[in-house]
Amino acid sequence: MNVLSKLNVGESGVLVGFDLPESVQNHLMHMGFVPDALVTVLRRAPAGDPTVYGVDGMEIALRRETAAAIRMRTADAESQETIEEEERKITTDKDRPELIEAAR
Residue 96 pLDDT class (50, 70, 90 cuts): low
- Domains of the chain (ranges plus CATH)? 2-75 (2.30.30.90)
Could you read off the pLDDT of 10-68 as tens digits, one per residue?
Answer: 999 999 999 998 999 899 999 989 999 999 999 999 988 999 999 988 999 999 999 99
The answer, yes or no, to whether residue 98 has pLDDT greater than 70, is: no
Asked whether the beta carbons of 76 and 52 are under 8 A apart, the reply is: no
Top mean-pLDDT range of 55-64, 72-81, 92-101: 55-64
The H or E element that residue 75 is part of is none
The answer, yes or no, to whether residue 79 has pLDDT greater than 80, is: no
Asked whether the beta carbons of 83 and 12 are under 8 A apart, the reply is: yes
ω into residue 50 within 30 of 0, thus cis?
yes
Q: Residue 61: its pLDDT value, please?
A: 95
Degrees, nearest 5: CA angle 82-13-32: 75
Give the closest residue to 37 by CA, choosing from 61, 68, 10, 71. 71
Asked whether the beta carbons of 52 and 42 are under 8 A apart, the reply is: yes
